[in-house]
Structure 1
Amino acid sequence: MADIQEYNEKIFEKIKHINDYGQEFWYGRELSEVLEYTKWGNFKKVIEKAKKACENSDISILDHFADVGKMVSLGSGAEREVDDIMLSRYACYLIVQNADSRKKVVALGQTYFAVQTRKQELTENFEQLSEDRKRLAIRNELKDHNKKLVDAAKSAGVETNLEYATFQNHGYMGLYGGLKAKDIHERKGLKKSQHILDHMGSTELAANLFRATQTEEKLKRDNIKGKENANKTHYEVGAKVRKTIKELGGTMPENLPTPEKSVKSIEKEEQKKLKNGGDKSE
Protein backbone atom coordinates (compact mmCIF):
# COMPACT_ATOMS: atom_id res chain seq x y z
CA MET A 1 0.00 0.00 0.00
CA ALA A 2 1.18 3.55 -0.66
CA ASP A 3 2.69 5.35 2.31
CA ILE A 4 0.57 7.68 4.44
CA GLN A 5 1.64 10.88 2.68
CA GLU A 6 0.79 9.55 -0.79
CA TYR A 7 -2.50 8.10 0.48
CA ASN A 8 -3.52 11.38 2.06
CA GLU A 9 -2.62 13.27 -1.13
CA LYS A 10 -5.25 11.14 -2.87
CA ILE A 11 -7.91 11.59 -0.20
CA PHE A 12 -7.80 14.59 2.12
CA GLU A 13 -5.24 16.83 0.42
CA LYS A 14 -7.04 16.46 -2.91
CA ILE A 15 -10.17 18.22 -1.62
CA LYS A 16 -8.29 20.95 0.25
CA HIS A 17 -8.82 24.53 -0.96
CA ILE A 18 -6.79 27.71 -0.46
CA ASN A 19 -8.55 31.08 -0.15
CA ASP A 20 -7.33 34.47 -1.36
CA TYR A 21 -5.42 34.97 1.88
CA GLY A 22 -3.45 31.74 1.54
CA GLN A 23 -5.49 29.96 4.21
CA GLU A 24 -6.45 26.32 3.73
CA PHE A 25 -10.02 25.08 4.11
CA TRP A 26 -12.30 22.18 3.22
CA TYR A 27 -15.93 22.17 2.07
CA GLY A 28 -18.28 20.12 4.24
CA ARG A 29 -20.08 18.48 1.32
CA GLU A 30 -16.82 17.33 -0.25
CA LEU A 31 -15.57 16.00 3.08
CA SER A 32 -18.88 14.17 3.63
CA GLU A 33 -18.45 12.34 0.31
CA VAL A 34 -14.88 11.35 1.14
CA LEU A 35 -16.04 10.07 4.54
CA GLU A 36 -18.72 8.03 2.76
CA TYR A 37 -21.80 9.82 4.08
CA THR A 38 -24.57 9.44 1.48
CA LYS A 39 -26.98 11.85 3.20
CA TRP A 40 -26.00 15.45 3.90
CA GLY A 41 -28.50 15.55 6.76
CA ASN A 42 -26.66 12.77 8.59
CA PHE A 43 -23.33 14.50 8.10
CA LYS A 44 -24.73 17.79 9.41
CA LYS A 45 -25.43 16.00 12.70
CA VAL A 46 -21.73 15.11 12.91
CA ILE A 47 -20.84 18.75 12.19
CA GLU A 48 -23.10 19.88 15.04
CA LYS A 49 -21.32 17.51 17.43
CA ALA A 50 -17.97 18.90 16.25
CA LYS A 51 -19.19 22.46 16.84
CA LYS A 52 -20.22 21.50 20.36
CA ALA A 53 -16.76 20.03 21.02
CA CYS A 54 -15.23 23.26 19.71
CA GLU A 55 -17.43 25.33 22.00
CA ASN A 56 -16.62 23.13 24.99
CA SER A 57 -12.92 23.79 24.36
CA ASP A 58 -13.59 27.54 24.62
CA ILE A 59 -12.65 28.04 20.98
CA SER A 60 -14.71 30.30 18.72
CA ILE A 61 -16.93 28.26 16.39
CA LEU A 62 -16.98 31.10 13.85
CA ASP A 63 -13.19 30.87 13.46
CA HIS A 64 -13.43 27.27 12.22
CA PHE A 65 -16.95 26.73 10.81
CA ALA A 66 -18.37 29.16 8.22
CA ASP A 67 -21.77 28.57 6.59
CA VAL A 68 -21.79 29.36 2.88
CA GLY A 69 -24.03 28.98 -0.16
CA LYS A 70 -22.65 27.05 -3.10
CA MET A 71 -23.87 26.80 -6.71
CA VAL A 72 -24.12 23.27 -8.11
CA SER A 73 -24.90 22.18 -11.65
CA LEU A 74 -28.14 20.35 -12.40
CA GLY A 75 -28.56 17.75 -15.11
CA SER A 76 -30.40 20.25 -17.32
CA GLY A 77 -27.42 22.59 -17.36
CA ALA A 78 -29.04 24.95 -14.87
CA GLU A 79 -27.61 25.72 -11.44
CA ARG A 80 -29.06 25.98 -7.97
CA GLU A 81 -27.67 27.09 -4.63
CA VAL A 82 -27.17 24.59 -1.82
CA ASP A 83 -26.00 25.20 1.74
CA ASP A 84 -22.44 24.18 2.53
CA ILE A 85 -19.86 24.95 5.19
CA MET A 86 -16.20 25.98 5.03
CA LEU A 87 -14.07 24.12 7.54
CA SER A 88 -10.63 24.75 8.99
CA ARG A 89 -8.21 21.87 9.53
CA TYR A 90 -9.14 21.95 13.22
CA ALA A 91 -12.84 21.73 12.33
CA CYS A 92 -12.11 18.69 10.13
CA TYR A 93 -10.20 17.16 13.03
CA LEU A 94 -13.21 17.55 15.33
CA ILE A 95 -15.55 16.18 12.66
CA VAL A 96 -13.59 12.95 12.09
CA GLN A 97 -13.42 12.44 15.85
CA ASN A 98 -17.23 12.47 15.93
CA ALA A 99 -17.82 10.54 12.68
CA ASP A 100 -18.56 6.83 12.31
CA SER A 101 -15.22 5.28 13.31
CA ARG A 102 -16.28 1.89 11.93
CA LYS A 103 -15.46 3.23 8.47
CA LYS A 104 -11.85 2.70 7.46
CA VAL A 105 -11.65 6.11 5.76
CA VAL A 106 -12.81 7.79 8.99
CA ALA A 107 -10.04 6.04 10.94
CA LEU A 108 -7.56 7.26 8.33
CA GLY A 109 -9.00 10.75 8.62
CA GLN A 110 -8.64 10.66 12.40
CA THR A 111 -4.94 9.86 12.04
CA TYR A 112 -4.38 12.38 9.26
CA PHE A 113 -6.13 15.40 10.78
CA ALA A 114 -4.89 14.66 14.31
CA VAL A 115 -1.26 14.44 13.24
CA GLN A 116 -1.50 17.45 10.92
CA THR A 117 -3.34 19.53 13.52
CA ARG A 118 -0.79 18.69 16.19
CA LYS A 119 2.00 19.62 13.80
CA GLN A 120 0.28 22.91 13.12
CA GLU A 121 -0.05 23.55 16.86
CA LEU A 122 3.62 22.79 17.40
CA THR A 123 4.84 25.10 14.67
CA GLU A 124 3.71 26.48 11.32
CA ASN A 125 7.04 25.36 9.83
CA PHE A 126 7.11 21.85 11.27
CA GLU A 127 8.23 20.20 8.03
CA GLN A 128 11.25 22.50 7.87
CA LEU A 129 12.46 21.48 11.34
CA SER A 130 15.37 19.10 11.78
CA GLU A 131 14.62 15.63 13.16
CA ASP A 132 16.09 16.65 16.53
CA ARG A 133 13.83 19.69 16.80
CA LYS A 134 10.80 17.69 15.71
CA ARG A 135 11.55 15.20 18.49
CA LEU A 136 11.93 18.00 21.01
CA ALA A 137 8.68 19.69 19.92
CA ILE A 138 6.58 16.50 19.97
CA ARG A 139 8.13 15.32 23.27
CA ASN A 140 7.20 18.62 24.93
CA GLU A 141 3.69 18.35 23.50
CA LEU A 142 3.47 14.79 24.84
CA LYS A 143 4.54 15.93 28.32
CA ASP A 144 1.67 18.39 28.35
CA HIS A 145 -0.91 15.86 27.15
CA ASN A 146 0.32 13.16 29.52
CA LYS A 147 -0.56 15.51 32.38
CA LYS A 148 -4.06 15.84 30.94
CA LEU A 149 -4.22 12.07 30.51
CA VAL A 150 -3.35 11.65 34.20
CA ASP A 151 -6.28 13.91 35.13
CA ALA A 152 -8.68 12.10 32.77
CA ALA A 153 -7.59 8.71 34.12
CA LYS A 154 -7.98 9.93 37.70
CA SER A 155 -11.53 11.08 36.95
CA ALA A 156 -12.23 7.60 35.57
CA GLY A 157 -11.05 5.95 38.80
CA VAL A 158 -7.31 5.38 38.27
CA GLU A 159 -5.97 6.71 41.58
CA THR A 160 -2.66 5.30 42.83
CA ASN A 161 0.74 5.42 41.10
CA LEU A 162 0.65 1.65 40.66
CA GLU A 163 -2.81 1.82 39.06
CA TYR A 164 -1.63 4.54 36.69
CA ALA A 165 1.44 2.48 35.72
CA THR A 166 -0.93 -0.39 34.87
CA PHE A 167 -3.13 2.01 32.92
CA GLN A 168 -0.12 3.28 30.93
CA ASN A 169 1.02 -0.25 30.20
CA HIS A 170 -2.35 -1.05 28.65
CA GLY A 171 -1.87 1.82 26.20
CA TYR A 172 1.62 0.65 25.32
CA MET A 173 0.44 -2.95 24.92
CA GLY A 174 -2.21 -1.86 22.45
CA LEU A 175 0.20 0.27 20.41
CA TYR A 176 3.22 -2.04 20.65
CA GLY A 177 1.54 -5.38 20.03
CA GLY A 178 1.58 -6.59 23.64
CA LEU A 179 4.82 -4.99 24.84
CA LYS A 180 4.76 -3.19 28.17
CA ALA A 181 6.88 -0.15 29.07
CA LYS A 182 9.53 -2.43 30.62
CA ASP A 183 9.67 -4.54 27.43
CA ILE A 184 10.07 -1.44 25.25
CA HIS A 185 12.78 -0.18 27.62
CA GLU A 186 14.70 -3.47 27.29
CA ARG A 187 14.17 -3.59 23.53
CA LYS A 188 15.76 -0.15 23.20
CA GLY A 189 18.69 -1.24 25.36
CA LEU A 190 18.24 1.61 27.82
CA LYS A 191 19.66 2.05 31.31
CA LYS A 192 17.31 1.89 34.28
CA SER A 193 17.30 5.68 34.71
CA GLN A 194 16.51 6.40 31.05
CA HIS A 195 12.92 7.09 29.95
CA ILE A 196 11.62 5.41 26.79
CA LEU A 197 9.91 8.58 25.51
CA ASP A 198 13.26 10.39 25.50
CA HIS A 199 14.67 7.73 23.18
CA MET A 200 12.05 7.76 20.41
CA GLY A 201 12.27 9.29 16.95
CA SER A 202 9.66 11.81 15.78
CA THR A 203 7.50 9.15 14.07
CA GLU A 204 7.34 6.97 17.19
CA LEU A 205 6.69 9.99 19.40
CA ALA A 206 3.88 11.13 17.09
CA ALA A 207 2.20 7.71 17.38
CA ASN A 208 2.37 7.95 21.18
CA LEU A 209 1.09 11.52 21.13
CA PHE A 210 -1.91 10.36 19.10
CA ARG A 211 -2.48 7.47 21.54
CA ALA A 212 -2.38 9.83 24.54
CA THR A 213 -4.59 12.57 23.11
CA GLN A 214 -7.23 10.18 21.77
CA THR A 215 -7.38 8.22 25.03
CA GLU A 216 -7.73 11.42 27.04
CA GLU A 217 -10.57 12.64 24.81
CA LYS A 218 -12.36 9.27 24.75
CA LEU A 219 -12.22 8.92 28.55
CA LYS A 220 -13.85 12.34 28.90
CA ARG A 221 -16.21 12.13 25.91
CA ASP A 222 -17.61 8.70 26.81
CA ASN A 223 -17.51 9.41 30.56
CA ILE A 224 -15.59 6.18 31.23
CA LYS A 225 -15.78 5.05 34.85
CA GLY A 226 -13.79 2.35 36.66
CA LYS A 227 -10.07 1.60 36.37
CA GLU A 228 -10.70 -1.64 34.46
CA ASN A 229 -12.75 0.23 31.86
CA ALA A 230 -10.09 2.94 31.68
CA ASN A 231 -7.41 0.31 31.10
CA LYS A 232 -9.53 -1.32 28.40
CA THR A 233 -10.10 2.03 26.71
CA HIS A 234 -6.38 2.84 26.68
CA TYR A 235 -5.56 -0.56 25.21
CA GLU A 236 -8.24 -0.26 22.52
CA VAL A 237 -7.08 3.22 21.46
CA GLY A 238 -3.47 2.01 21.30
CA ALA A 239 -4.51 -1.02 19.25
CA LYS A 240 -6.52 1.17 16.88
CA VAL A 241 -3.53 3.44 16.27
CA ARG A 242 -1.41 0.35 15.60
CA LYS A 243 -4.01 -1.01 13.17
CA THR A 244 -4.10 2.26 11.28
CA ILE A 245 -0.29 2.32 11.00
CA LYS A 246 -0.41 -1.22 9.63
CA GLU A 247 -3.17 -0.42 7.12
CA LEU A 248 -1.14 2.52 5.85
CA GLY A 249 1.93 0.33 5.36
CA GLY A 250 3.90 2.02 8.14
CA THR A 251 6.59 0.52 10.37
CA MET A 252 5.37 -0.84 13.69
CA PRO A 253 6.58 1.39 16.55
CA GLU A 254 8.65 -1.36 18.20
CA ASN A 255 10.59 -1.78 14.95
CA LEU A 256 11.45 1.91 14.53
CA PRO A 257 15.12 2.77 15.17
CA THR A 258 16.19 4.21 18.53
CA PRO A 259 18.00 7.54 18.04
CA GLU A 260 21.56 7.78 19.35
CA LYS A 261 20.82 11.08 21.07
CA SER A 262 18.20 11.44 23.81
CA VAL A 263 15.66 14.26 23.90
CA LYS A 264 17.29 15.46 27.14
CA SER A 265 20.60 15.78 25.29
CA ILE A 266 18.88 17.79 22.55
CA GLU A 267 17.32 20.05 25.20
CA LYS A 268 20.73 20.72 26.75
CA GLU A 269 22.20 21.49 23.33
CA GLU A 270 19.39 23.94 22.54
CA GLN A 271 19.79 25.65 25.92
CA LYS A 272 23.55 25.93 25.33
CA LYS A 273 22.98 27.49 21.91
CA LEU A 274 20.58 30.03 23.42
CA LYS A 275 23.04 30.83 26.19
CA ASN A 276 25.96 31.25 23.81
CA GLY A 277 23.81 33.38 21.51
CA GLY A 278 22.87 35.56 24.47
CA ASP A 279 26.51 35.89 25.51
CA LYS A 280 27.45 37.06 22.00
CA SER A 281 24.78 39.72 21.94
CA GLU A 282 25.82 41.29 25.24
Structure 2
Amino acid sequence: MIALGKGGQREVADYRLSRYACYLIVQNGDPSKSVIAAGQTYFAVQARRQELQDEAAFRSLGEDKQRLLLRRQLREHNTDLAAAAKDAGVEKPVEYAVFQNHGYRGLYGGLGKQGIHSRKGLKKSQRILDHMNASEPAANLFRATQTEENYAAKHPRQTQANRVHFEVGQKVRQTIEELGGIMPENQPVPEKSIKQLENEEQKGLPQPNSIKTAKITAFRLPEKAACTRFQAA
Protein backbone atom coordinates (compact mmCIF):
# COMPACT_ATOMS: atom_id res chain seq x y z
CA MET A 1 0.00 0.00 0.00
CA ILE A 2 1.13 3.55 -0.71
CA ALA A 3 -0.20 6.71 0.91
CA LEU A 4 -2.21 9.16 -1.18
CA GLY A 5 -3.45 12.66 -0.49
CA LYS A 6 -6.10 13.26 2.18
CA GLY A 7 -5.24 10.05 4.01
CA GLY A 8 -6.09 7.72 1.13
CA GLN A 9 -4.21 4.56 0.23
CA ARG A 10 -3.71 2.53 -2.92
CA GLU A 11 -2.48 -0.99 -3.39
CA VAL A 12 0.35 -1.37 -5.89
CA ALA A 13 2.11 -4.42 -7.30
CA ASP A 14 5.27 -5.55 -5.54
CA TYR A 15 8.18 -6.91 -7.60
CA ARG A 16 11.02 -9.15 -6.52
CA LEU A 17 14.14 -8.35 -8.59
CA SER A 18 17.17 -10.53 -9.12
CA ARG A 19 20.56 -9.35 -7.94
CA TYR A 20 21.59 -8.72 -11.57
CA ALA A 21 18.49 -6.61 -12.22
CA CYS A 22 19.29 -4.50 -9.17
CA TYR A 23 22.84 -4.02 -10.46
CA LEU A 24 21.56 -2.79 -13.82
CA ILE A 25 19.14 -0.36 -12.17
CA VAL A 26 21.90 1.12 -10.02
CA GLN A 27 24.41 1.35 -12.88
CA ASN A 28 21.94 3.16 -15.14
CA GLY A 29 20.02 5.14 -12.52
CA ASP A 30 19.96 8.84 -11.68
CA PRO A 31 23.08 9.64 -9.59
CA SER A 32 21.31 12.63 -8.01
CA LYS A 33 19.48 10.06 -5.86
CA SER A 34 21.67 9.17 -2.87
CA VAL A 35 21.06 5.43 -3.03
CA ILE A 36 21.98 5.35 -6.74
CA ALA A 37 25.08 7.49 -6.18
CA ALA A 38 26.22 5.19 -3.38
CA GLY A 39 25.68 2.14 -5.58
CA GLN A 40 27.62 3.62 -8.49
CA THR A 41 30.50 4.49 -6.17
CA TYR A 42 30.52 0.90 -4.96
CA PHE A 43 30.77 -0.42 -8.52
CA ALA A 44 33.59 2.01 -9.34
CA VAL A 45 35.56 0.80 -6.31
CA GLN A 46 34.94 -2.86 -7.16
CA ALA A 47 35.97 -2.33 -10.78
CA ARG A 48 39.24 -0.72 -9.73
CA ARG A 49 39.89 -3.50 -7.23
CA GLN A 50 39.46 -6.08 -9.99
CA GLU A 51 41.78 -4.10 -12.28
CA LEU A 52 44.50 -4.13 -9.63
CA GLN A 53 44.08 -7.87 -9.11
CA ASP A 54 44.29 -8.48 -12.85
CA GLU A 55 47.40 -6.33 -13.17
CA ALA A 56 49.08 -8.14 -10.27
CA ALA A 57 48.22 -11.52 -11.79
CA PHE A 58 49.63 -10.45 -15.15
CA ARG A 59 52.87 -9.18 -13.61
CA SER A 60 53.31 -12.51 -11.81
CA LEU A 61 53.53 -14.33 -15.15
CA GLY A 62 56.83 -14.93 -16.87
CA GLU A 63 57.63 -13.19 -20.17
CA ASP A 64 56.62 -16.20 -22.27
CA LYS A 65 53.27 -16.56 -20.51
CA GLN A 66 52.58 -12.86 -20.92
CA ARG A 67 53.30 -13.18 -24.63
CA LEU A 68 50.94 -16.14 -24.99
CA LEU A 69 48.15 -14.41 -23.13
CA LEU A 70 48.46 -11.14 -25.05
CA ARG A 71 48.72 -12.95 -28.39
CA ARG A 72 45.47 -14.80 -27.70
CA GLN A 73 43.72 -11.60 -26.75
CA LEU A 74 45.08 -9.94 -29.87
CA ARG A 75 43.74 -12.76 -32.05
CA GLU A 76 40.27 -12.25 -30.62
CA HIS A 77 40.32 -8.48 -31.05
CA ASN A 78 41.78 -8.70 -34.55
CA THR A 79 38.81 -10.88 -35.47
CA ASP A 80 36.45 -8.25 -34.05
CA LEU A 81 38.38 -5.48 -35.81
CA ALA A 82 38.18 -7.35 -39.12
CA ALA A 83 34.40 -7.61 -38.72
CA ALA A 84 34.18 -3.89 -37.97
CA ALA A 85 36.33 -3.11 -41.00
CA LYS A 86 34.09 -5.28 -43.16
CA ASP A 87 31.08 -3.25 -42.03
CA ALA A 88 32.99 -0.17 -43.19
CA GLY A 89 33.42 -1.66 -46.68
CA VAL A 90 36.80 -3.39 -46.31
CA GLU A 91 35.88 -6.72 -47.89
CA LYS A 92 38.48 -7.95 -50.41
CA PRO A 93 41.76 -9.52 -49.18
CA VAL A 94 43.81 -6.77 -50.83
CA GLU A 95 41.63 -4.13 -49.15
CA TYR A 96 42.13 -5.77 -45.78
CA ALA A 97 45.90 -5.91 -46.33
CA VAL A 98 45.89 -2.16 -47.04
CA PHE A 99 43.74 -1.60 -43.96
CA GLN A 100 46.12 -3.58 -41.72
CA ASN A 101 49.11 -1.75 -43.17
CA HIS A 102 47.57 1.59 -42.20
CA GLY A 103 47.47 0.48 -38.57
CA TYR A 104 51.06 -0.75 -38.67
CA ARG A 105 52.31 2.43 -40.33
CA GLY A 106 50.68 4.58 -37.66
CA LEU A 107 52.10 2.56 -34.77
CA TYR A 108 55.52 1.81 -36.28
CA GLY A 109 56.48 5.30 -37.41
CA GLY A 110 55.66 4.82 -41.09
CA LEU A 111 56.82 1.20 -41.41
CA GLY A 112 54.38 -1.14 -43.11
CA LYS A 113 54.37 -4.93 -42.96
CA GLN A 114 57.40 -5.35 -45.23
CA GLY A 115 59.30 -2.61 -43.43
CA ILE A 116 58.69 -4.23 -40.05
CA HIS A 117 59.84 -7.61 -41.40
CA SER A 118 63.03 -6.03 -42.68
CA ARG A 119 63.65 -4.00 -39.52
CA LYS A 120 63.32 -7.06 -37.30
CA GLY A 121 65.10 -9.48 -39.62
CA LEU A 122 62.08 -11.75 -40.01
CA LYS A 123 61.61 -14.18 -42.87
CA LYS A 124 58.73 -13.65 -45.27
CA SER A 125 56.96 -16.71 -43.84
CA GLN A 126 57.21 -15.46 -40.24
CA ARG A 127 54.22 -13.56 -38.88
CA ILE A 128 55.02 -10.27 -37.19
CA LEU A 129 52.59 -10.81 -34.32
CA ASP A 130 54.17 -14.19 -33.47
CA HIS A 131 57.65 -12.73 -32.98
CA MET A 132 57.04 -9.98 -30.43
CA ASN A 133 58.02 -9.65 -26.80
CA ALA A 134 55.29 -8.85 -24.27
CA SER A 135 55.38 -5.06 -24.70
CA GLU A 136 54.85 -5.06 -28.45
CA PRO A 137 51.62 -7.10 -28.67
CA ALA A 138 50.28 -5.02 -25.77
CA ALA A 139 50.67 -1.87 -27.90
CA ASN A 140 49.09 -3.60 -30.90
CA LEU A 141 46.22 -4.80 -28.72
CA PHE A 142 45.57 -1.23 -27.60
CA ARG A 143 45.62 -0.10 -31.24
CA ALA A 144 43.10 -2.79 -32.22
CA THR A 145 40.67 -2.17 -29.34
CA GLN A 146 40.70 1.61 -29.72
CA THR A 147 40.17 1.40 -33.48
CA GLU A 148 37.28 -0.99 -32.95
CA GLU A 149 35.67 1.37 -30.42
CA ASN A 150 36.08 4.31 -32.79
CA TYR A 151 34.32 2.39 -35.57
CA ALA A 152 31.47 1.42 -33.26
CA ALA A 153 30.93 5.07 -32.36
CA LYS A 154 31.44 6.74 -35.75
CA HIS A 155 30.66 4.08 -38.40
CA PRO A 156 33.29 5.21 -40.95
CA ARG A 157 33.37 4.09 -44.58
CA GLN A 158 36.34 2.35 -46.21
CA THR A 159 38.66 5.30 -46.90
CA GLN A 160 37.87 6.82 -43.51
CA ALA A 161 38.37 3.43 -41.84
CA ASN A 162 41.93 3.21 -43.16
CA ARG A 163 42.69 6.74 -41.99
CA VAL A 164 41.22 6.12 -38.55
CA HIS A 165 43.31 2.96 -38.16
CA PHE A 166 46.44 4.94 -39.06
CA GLU A 167 45.60 7.82 -36.71
CA VAL A 168 44.84 5.55 -33.78
CA GLY A 169 48.18 3.79 -34.36
CA GLN A 170 49.85 7.21 -34.28
CA LYS A 171 48.11 8.07 -31.01
CA VAL A 172 49.28 4.83 -29.38
CA ARG A 173 52.82 5.54 -30.59
CA GLN A 174 52.60 9.07 -29.20
CA THR A 175 51.49 7.69 -25.83
CA ILE A 176 54.44 5.28 -25.73
CA GLU A 177 56.80 8.15 -26.53
CA GLU A 178 55.29 10.41 -23.85
CA LEU A 179 55.71 7.65 -21.26
CA GLY A 180 59.35 7.15 -22.25
CA GLY A 181 58.79 3.65 -23.61
CA ILE A 182 60.64 1.77 -26.34
CA MET A 183 59.14 2.18 -29.80
CA PRO A 184 57.66 -1.06 -31.16
CA GLU A 185 60.05 -1.24 -34.12
CA ASN A 186 62.96 -1.10 -31.65
CA GLN A 187 61.67 -3.88 -29.41
CA PRO A 188 63.93 -6.97 -29.42
CA VAL A 189 62.77 -10.11 -31.21
CA PRO A 190 62.40 -13.00 -28.73
CA GLU A 191 64.20 -16.28 -29.38
CA LYS A 192 61.02 -18.36 -29.45
CA SER A 193 57.98 -17.71 -31.61
CA ILE A 194 54.43 -17.93 -30.32
CA LYS A 195 54.02 -21.18 -32.25
CA GLN A 196 56.97 -22.70 -30.41
CA LEU A 197 55.61 -21.57 -27.05
CA GLU A 198 52.17 -23.01 -27.86
CA ASN A 199 53.75 -26.32 -28.90
CA GLU A 200 55.66 -26.46 -25.62
CA GLU A 201 52.48 -25.71 -23.70
CA GLN A 202 50.58 -28.47 -25.51
CA LYS A 203 53.35 -30.97 -24.79
CA GLY A 204 53.13 -30.07 -21.13
CA LEU A 205 56.72 -28.91 -20.81
CA PRO A 206 57.34 -27.32 -17.40
CA GLN A 207 57.19 -23.54 -17.53
CA PRO A 208 57.23 -21.09 -14.59
CA ASN A 209 54.13 -19.18 -13.57
CA SER A 210 51.42 -21.26 -15.22
CA ILE A 211 49.06 -19.20 -17.32
CA LYS A 212 46.12 -20.98 -15.66
CA THR A 213 46.79 -19.15 -12.40
CA ALA A 214 45.92 -15.77 -13.85
CA LYS A 215 42.78 -14.35 -15.36
CA ILE A 216 43.39 -11.10 -17.20
CA THR A 217 40.18 -9.38 -18.26
CA ALA A 218 41.79 -6.64 -20.34
CA PHE A 219 45.11 -5.11 -21.23
CA ARG A 220 45.72 -1.72 -19.66
CA LEU A 221 48.39 0.87 -20.27
CA PRO A 222 49.64 2.84 -17.24
CA GLU A 223 47.23 5.31 -15.64
CA LYS A 224 48.21 8.25 -17.84
CA ALA A 225 47.79 6.25 -21.03
CA ALA A 226 44.62 4.51 -19.90
CA CYS A 227 42.88 7.88 -19.67
CA THR A 228 43.68 8.75 -23.29
CA ARG A 229 40.68 8.85 -25.60
CA PHE A 230 41.00 8.77 -29.35
CA GLN A 231 38.84 11.05 -31.46
CA ALA A 232 40.25 10.36 -34.92
CA ALA A 233 37.58 11.50 -37.39
CA distance in 2 between counterparts of 1:166 and 1:89 reads 42
Once the 2 structures are TM-superposed, how far is the Cα of residue 185 of structure 1 from its aligned partner? 1.1
Among 125, 142, 151, the alignment partner of 2:83 is 151
Q: Which amino acid aligns with 1:149?
A: L
Q: Which amino acid aligns with 2:193?
A: S
Contact 1:158 1:167 in 2 (8 A): yes
Once the 2 structures are TM-superposed, how far is the Cα of residue 274 of structure 1 from its aligned partner? 6.8
Q: Which amino acid aligns with 1:207?
A: A
CA distance in 2 between counterparts of 1:90 and 1:263 reads 34
Once the 2 structures are TM-superposed, how far is the Cα of residue 252 of structure 1 from its aligned partner? 0.8
Tell me, what secondary structure is at the counterpart of 1:267?
helix
Larger radius of gyration: 2
Q: Which amino acid aligns with 2:113?
A: A
Q: Which amino acid aligns with 2:75?
A: K
Aligned to 2:60: 128
Aligned to 2:177: 246
- Corresponding position: 1:236 with 2:163: no
CA distance in 2 between counterparts of 1:180 and 1:274 reads 36
CA distance in 2 between counterparts of 1:164 and 1:64 reads 38
Once the 2 structures are TM-superposed, how far is the Cα of residue 125 of structure 1 from its aligned partner? 1.8
Q: 1:89 to 1:127 in 2, by over 3 A?
A: farther
Once the 2 structures are TM-superposed, how far is the Cα of residue 133 of structure 1 from its aligned partner? 0.6
Residues 15-63 of structure 1, C-alpha deviation per residue, up to 9 Å, x if partnerless?
xxxxxxxxxxxxxxxxxxxxxxxxxxxxxxxxxxxxxxxxxxxxx6469
Q: Which amino acid aligns with 1:219?
A: Y
Aligned to 1:201: 133
Tell me, what secondary structure is at the counterpart of 1:146?
helix
Q: 1:231 to 1:273 in 2, by over 3 A?
A: same
Q: 1:127 to 1:258 in 2, by over 3 A?
A: same
Aligned to 1:167: 99
Contact 1:65 1:91 in 2 (8 A): no
Contact 2:26 2:36 in 1 (8 A): no
CA distance in 1 between counterparts of 2:161 and 2:182 reads 27
| Aligned positions of 1:65-76 closer than 5 A | none
Q: Which moved more, 1:170-179 or 1:123-132?
A: 123-132
Tell me, what secondary structure is at the counterpart of 1:125?
helix
Structure 2 alignment gaps of length 5 or more: 1-22, 207-233
Tell me, what secondary structure is at the counterpart of 2:90?
coil
Q: Which amino acid aligns with 1:214?
A: Q
Aligned to 1:9: none
- TM-score by length of structure 1 reads 0.57
- TM-score by length of structure 2 reads 0.68
Among 183, 189, 194, the alignment partner of 2:121 is 189
Once the 2 structures are TM-superposed, how far is the Cα of residue 88 of structure 1 from its aligned partner? 3.6
Q: Which amino acid aligns with 2:168?
A: V
Aligned to 2:199: 268
Give the aligned length.
Answer: 179
Larger relative contact order (CA 8 Å, sep ≥ 6): 2
Structure 1 alignment gaps of length 5 or more: 1-59, 71-80, 93-115, 276-282
Give the CA RMSD over aligned residues: 3.1
Q: Which amino acid aligns with 2:63?
A: E
Identity %: 53
Relative to total residues, which structure has the larger strand share, 1 or 2? 1
